[in-house]
Amino acid sequence: MPWLCAEYESSLAGYAYASRWRERSAYRFVVESTIYLAPAFIGRGIGKVLYGALLEQLRASGIHTVIGVIALPNPASVTLHEKLGFTKVAHFNEVGYKFNQWVDVEYWQRIL
């Protein structure tokens, strides 16, 4: 699975990668995507370019469906997924634990 990094003026601005969504053979054309941007680089368009490049590599490799998982609240990530054609397909209450608290998580899907 691809791992991509974005560099800006010799600094790591962010990364994006894909991993298997489920182990069973029926899901071999489905991946979960992850993107992270350093806070200083949010809102500069780097995320859209980086995630777009990941989606293109996944499409070229025969992946059919990409699932983005967003721990809430994260309005920047929701906006990025919307801009890249993802659709919200699920909302789970208190399934993630970050920063010493339970957080809701959304699944966003894009068919390539």
pLDDT bracket for residue 77 (50, 70, 90): very high
In angstroms, the CA 15 to CA 99 distance is 21
Per-residue pLDDT, 45: 92
β partners of residue 34: 17
Name the pTM for this structure: 0.91
DSSP state of 38: -
pLDDT (mean) for 10-21? 95
How far from 44 is each of 9, 48, 77, 79, CA to CA, in Å? 14, 9, 13, 13
Q: Please, are residues 61 and 28 in contact by the beta-carbon 8 Å criterion?
A: no
Within 13 A of 21's CA, how many CA atoms are on the CB side?
A: 19
* Mean pLDDT along residues 17-32: 96
Name which CATH class applies to 3-111: alpha beta
**Mean pLDDT, the chain, integer:** 96
CA neighbor of 76 nearest in space, from 68, 25, 58: 68
Domain residue spans in the chain? 3-111
Per-residue pLDDT, 37: 94
